[in-house]
């Protein structure tokens, strides 16, 4: 019993050091804001404690790839007025919206393993991977789509051309970016499982689940963005925006549900991708 307790303590301490180190690096590189740092630590540490270091590596791949594609040609995005605010640093709402469902899956995995010693519950792993693949696909699709030479089309009305950065807009370049995102997550999961480092009896199925669930989850994000998400118009600069307040003034609500903002869309999409992957697990 003492050996188990010592192993748990070492696991917790190592996790604390590694997650904290990545947190400090992230804020120095302006990947997250201070609130995003705190939220990211909570998400990362829970994933480490309950899912283990391999699960942490998978969600870290999202964090790093999202940061890379957000910063990629950032000045060009700024000139177009399409760049993420604050240098691309993500705040706590974005971190929890994207990381919420994967964190729940990791916690459930850990709790069930504790209740049933020695067990492994692949359904939660699939849910975790599906959700992470979705948010990776969505982030890369958004950031690469902004660089497309052709204007996006509304996902619910493909004949309708919309402005770059519009909610629900899709481009071929963005969709290819989404596919790359799913392959990053699925490929890492497959590699870890193939090397026997990930506690799972599945290997290539993890890649399939990541690609299918990630692409479908990303589609859910686009559809919700085009139909349900609140869209406003700034009364100062007349820009169409997702924000209820723009240029320091209250914006005019145009369509969608005013309270249903982008982070809610991200959470629903992430959860959808996770649930789709869990459904695929039942089919394998």
Q: Determine which helix (DSSP H) or strand (DSSP E) holds 109, and give its type and residue range.
A: helix 92-115
Q: Is the pLDDT reported for residue 88 higher than 80?
A: no
pLDDT at residue 45 in the model: 97
Give residue 247's region: left, alpha or beta (phi > 0; psi -120 to 50): left
Q: Domain containing 239: what range?
A: 2-283
Q: Is the pLDDT reported for residue 1 higher than 60?
A: no
Over the stretch 116-154, which tens digit does the pLDDT of each residue have?
765 567 999 999 999 999 999 999 999 999 999 899 999
Confidence of residue 98 (pLDDT cuts 50, 70, 90): very high
pLDDT at residue 16 in the model: 96
CA distance 141 to 119: 36
Q: What is the pTM of this model?
A: 0.93
pLDDT at residue 86 in the model: 65
Q: Is the pLDDT reported for residue 163 higher than 90?
A: no
Highest-pLDDT range among 22-31, 177-186, 234-243: 177-186
pLDDT at residue 194 in the model: 95
CA distance 69 to 184: 13
pLDDT at residue 186 in the model: 98
pLDDT at residue 118 in the model: 58
Total domains, the chain:
1
Beta carbons within 10 angstroms of residue 168's beta carbon: 24
pLDDT at residue 125 in the model: 97
Over the stretch 58-72, which tens digit does the pLDDT of each residue have?
999 999 999 999 888
pLDDT at residue 236 in the model: 83
* % the chain with pLDDT above 90: 68
CA distance 166 to 49: 38
Confidence of residue 251 (pLDDT cuts 50, 70, 90): confident
Instruction: Spell 216-232 as b/e; 16+ CB within 10 A means b.
Output: bbbbbbbbbbbbbbbbb
Over the stretch 262-275, which tens digit does the pLDDT of each residue have?
999 999 999 999 99
pLDDT at residue 73 in the model: 86
Residue 203 makes CB contacts below 8 A (sequence gap 6+) with 190, 193, 194
Confidence of residue 2 (pLDDT cuts 50, 70, 90): low
Q: Is the pLDDT reported for residue 87 higher than 70?
A: no
Beta bridge partners of 154: 157, 169
- Return the higher-pLDDT residue of 251 and 186: 186
Please, what is the average pLDDT of the chain?
A: 91
124, 281 contact by CB (below 8 A): no
Over the stretch 5-58, which tens digit does the pLDDT of each residue have?
788 899 999 999 999 999 999 999 989 999 999 999 999 999 999 999 999 999
């Amino acid at each position: 019993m003492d050996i188990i307790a010592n192993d748990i303590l070492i696991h917790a301490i190592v996790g604390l050091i590694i997650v904290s180190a990545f947190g400090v690096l992230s804020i120095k590189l302006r990947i997250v804001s201070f609130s995003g740092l705190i939220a990211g630590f909570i998400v990362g540490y829970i994933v480490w404690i309950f899912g283990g270091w391999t699960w942490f590596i998978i969600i870290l791949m999202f964090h790093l790839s999202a940061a890379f594609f957000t910063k990629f040609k950032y000045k060009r995005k700024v000139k177009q007025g399409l760049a993420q605010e604050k240098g691309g640093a993500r705040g706590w709402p974005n971190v929890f919206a994207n990381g919420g469902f994967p964190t729940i899956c990791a916690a459930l995995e850990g709790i069930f393993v504790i209740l049933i010693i020695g067990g492994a519950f692949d359904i939660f792993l699939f849910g975790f991977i599906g959700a992470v693949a979705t948010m990776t696909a969505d982030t890369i699709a958004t950031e690469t789509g902004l660089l497309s030479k052709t204007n996006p089309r509304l996902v619910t009305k493909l004949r309708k051309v919309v402005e770059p950065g519009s909610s629900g807009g899709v481009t071929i370049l963005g969709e290819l970016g989404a596919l790359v995102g799913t392959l990053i997550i699925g490929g890492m999961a497959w590699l870890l499982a193939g090397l026997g480092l990930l506690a799972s009896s599945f290997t290539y199925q993890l890649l399939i689940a990541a690609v299918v669930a990630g692409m479908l989850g990303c589609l859910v994000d686009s559809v919700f963005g085009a139909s349900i998400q609140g869209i406003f118009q700034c009364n100062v600069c007349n820009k169409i925006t997702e924000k209820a307040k723009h240029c320091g003034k209250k914006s005019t609500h145009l369509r969608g549900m005013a309270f249903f903002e982008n982070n809610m869309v991200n959470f629903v999409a992430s959860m959808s991708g996770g649930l789709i992957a869990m459904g695929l697990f039942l089919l394998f």
